[in-house]
Amino acid sequence: MRPDILNPLFAETETLDGVGPKLKKPLDRLGLTRVRDLAYHLPERFVTRRAVDNADEVGEGEQIVIRLTVTEHRGGRSPRAPYRVLAQDTLGNVLALTYFGRASYTAKKQLPVGETRWVAGKLERFGDMLQIVHPDHVVEEGGDTLQRLCEPVYRLSEGLTQPRLAGLIAQALGKAPELPEWIEGSQRAKHDWPSWREAIGQAHKADHRDARDRLAYDELLANSLALMLVRADNRKRKGQPLKGDGSYRSRLDLPFPLTGAQKRSIAEVESDMAQEAPMLRLLQGDVGAGKTVVALQAMLIAVEAGTQAALLAPTEILARQHFESLRRMAEPTGARVALLTGRDKGRAREATLMGLLDGSIDIVVGTHAIFQDKVAYRNLATVVIDEQHRFGVGQRLMLASKGKRAPHVLAMTATPIPRTLTLAQYGELDVSKLDELPPGRQAIDTVVLGQDKLGALVERLAAQVAEGRQAYWVCPMVREMDGPEDIAAAEARYAALHERFGDDVVMVHGQLAGELKDAAMERFARGDAKLLVATTVIEVGVDVPNATLMVIEQAERFGLAQLHQLRGRVGRGSQKSFCVLLHGETLSETAQERLKLMRQTQDGFLLAEEDLRLRGGGELLGTRQSGDTPFTVASLEQITELLPKAYDDARLLMERDGGLEGKRGEAARVLLYLFERDFGVKTLRGG
């Protein structure tokens, strides 16, 4: 049960003055459904203004507050012309307050001739005239504009204005209770952090670094604690100790000898599976490092021990690819592998369900369909989850309910993750790293080109196709209206390339229906289509050995980790492969550094650390990247700086301070519910 002290914060936004059905819609679009959400909707930035008497001495573009007397209203000759209100400062300088469109009605009401007003806004020059376009505030004498010298700017959605949202947030903050202190005393003193209630108030008033850091730390502490509780609960659970006799694994016929990193990871997995406490391990492997082989070994240990294993993939395309490669590898061992997706129907589906129930199927590969209520297993003891970041902790816990006892879980990700973010997202998992590439994997040549070389690139592409090779062409957007006009869009690029290459070109993006996407992917995988135009939906798991060219258009708009993932789609066969990073005309310093790093190294772990360093500086890309962070308050910079401290503090609370019992433990429960990490509390017996 959520502690009563938090009830005011978890009340719906309709309980606030002025929120009816009309205002609720834009709030819902921003995810602001409860009082708590408004309190944590922190400003994106602050506008700092200077109070002035003399408009003539103000620099252009400066934010000011000034006392003006209205002298004249001038309407435009047409409805589209600007409406100007002329006014004088205390020294007699004339200033125009300029309005467009329907805002002129407001101006007529707010600014009667002869009256004095405080006006706040940005001063600009228009020819010889000083003007403020659409003032931020117009307040009568004795009003509060001078109090607004520093003002928060919030993220909005259509139907909301800054003043309206600021008013609702002020109401929400008024309902914030005094909460018990959950941060360890010496830690709080060292940083000189305010209490929770002071911090949440200060974070909306000015750029208080201490207040923002305190709130970020709270979120990181809640997350660390929840993951530790899940992990402790997992260790208390009874799993099935599984020891394989090698009878299946000894018959494997692998194309390459195992790398040192693969051998080490397999030994760690084998040791975990032999224990009664269920395994919870994350396998991080760089592109092409051979994670599937490690996963297969884990599943064969389960089969040798007389139990079943399942591999869960986030998409149907990936599930089918895993099924094909696992079936091929497992064939000499005699293990029976089946595929189960949401699209399977009729007799084939019934046969698979029967095989899982009677144990004649050893390994099943599929999407979420493999965990639906109707799917029953004879004895499911091991689960492999691919592309781990697509599945949350809650889903990992749900999987545990399918086995007779909690199954061993091996989570895999092809995105090398910096240590801090690994702690943040997978703090309850042990980590194995595949940081060596198997012999035979060729280095991929990476070339950086400007958009002006597009014609030559298309000719190069034509030569590749003529030789029977295949290629990818990745764009940041699906169609032009998804973002700024100058962004390369997949549909426009597909149309242009289709004119040149005809039906040799197929297109895949996230907004296509599943069947169309699968059909296009299958044509490309079979080699019937030579060129695949796509958005980043092909970032993970697509495996076409004959594809030797990857073009990434407007590469400056992608993060390093994403560029590295995309580059890893080629270089999978015996032919030399290339990756072309096409960039727009203007490149920021960060973008230049990013593209240079891509040319210099193919080490995904190094690139991931550099990506965090570069993006931590505030230049987060236009779209939030998959698996970035599970946080709403803490920035990448704060995660890097504060997470190790929060993690240590959580461990101290669990190991020394009696966990969630005792005074600080009670406060920590409040924290877990505040950040909705209560899945951690629920793991406690009777918690």
Same domain? 400 vs 516: no
Quick one: pLDDT band at residue 203, thresholds 50, 70, 90?
very high
Same domain? 36 vs 85: no
For the segment 357-373, the average pLDDT, to the nearest whole number, is 91
| H-only helix segments in 445-588 | 454-466, 490-501, 514-526, 560-567
Same domain? 53 vs 30: no
Is the pLDDT at 580 greater than 90? The verdict is yes
Is 625 within a domain?
no
pLDDT of residue 606: 86
Is 578 within a domain?
yes
Is the pLDDT at 612 greater than 90? The verdict is no
Q: pLDDT per residue over 413-439, tens digit each?
A: 877 777 777 777 777 788 898 888 777
Do 159 and 25 form a contact (C-beta atoms < 8 A)? yes
Quick one: pLDDT band at residue 624, thresholds 50, 70, 90?
very low
For the segment 35-50, the average pLDDT, to the nearest whole number, is 94
For the segment 216-224, the average pLDDT, to the nearest whole number, is 95
Query: Which residues are CB-neighbours of 515 under 8 A, at least 6 positions away?
Result: none
Q: Which tokens belong to 444?
A: 């991929």
Q: What is the CATH number of the domain that holds 540?
A: 3.40.50.300
How does the average pLDDT of the chain come out, rounded?
87
Q: pLDDT per residue over 540-561, tens digit each?
A: 556 788 999 999 999 998 888 8
Q: Which of 140, 172, 204 is the last residue of a domain?
A: 172
Quick one: pLDDT band at residue 393, thresholds 50, 70, 90?
low
Q: Which of 378, 410, 434 is the last residue of a domain?
A: 434
Same domain? 323 vs 471: no
For the segment 297-321, the average pLDDT, to the nearest whole number, is 92
Same domain? 582 vs 450: yes
Do 417 and 432 form a contact (C-beta atoms < 8 A)? no
Same domain? 254 vs 387: yes
Is 199 within a domain?
no
Nearest-5° Cα angle at 18, 12 to 22: 80
Q: Which of 567, 601, 635 is the last residue of a domain?
A: 601
Give pTM, 2 decimals: 0.71
Q: Which tokens belong to 297?
A: 């070994």
Is 213 within a domain?
no
pLDDT of residue 616: 52
Same domain? 39 vs 51: no
Same domain? 470 vs 399: no
Q: Which residue has the tokens 């080629």?
A: 570
Same domain? 301 vs 387: yes
Same domain? 416 vs 276: yes
Is 277 within a domain?
yes
Of the chain, the percentage scoring pLDDT greater than 70 comes to 91
Quick one: pLDDT band at residue 400, thresholds 50, 70, 90?
low
CB atoms within 10 A of CB 220: 28
pLDDT of residue 397: 61
Is 546 within a domain?
yes
Of the chain, the percentage scoring pLDDT greater than 90 comes to 54
Quick one: pLDDT band at residue 637, thresholds 50, 70, 90?
confident
Is the pLDDT at 649 greater than 50? The verdict is yes
Quick one: pLDDT band at residue 394, thresholds 50, 70, 90?
low
pLDDT of residue 626: 34
pLDDT of residue 515: 79
Q: Which residue has the tokens 């504009």?
A: 145
Is 187 within a domain?
no
One-letter identity of residue 508 = V
For the segment 101-124, the average pLDDT, to the nearest whole number, is 92
pLDDT of residue 585: 83
Same domain? 537 vs 563: yes
**CA–CA separation, 620 vs 376, rounded Å?**
44
- Taking 3-state DSSP, the helix, strand and coil percentages for the chain, each rounded to the nearest 5, stand at 45, 20, 40
Query: Could you list the residue range(s) of the whole structural domain that residue 527 is in?
Result: 444-601
Same domain? 392 vs 489: no
Query: Which residues are CB-neighbours of 600 under 8 A, at least 6 positions away?
Result: none
Is 394 within a domain?
yes
Is the pLDDT at 484 greater than 50? The verdict is no
Is the pLDDT at 472 greater than 80? The verdict is yes
If one counts the domains in the chain, the total is: 4
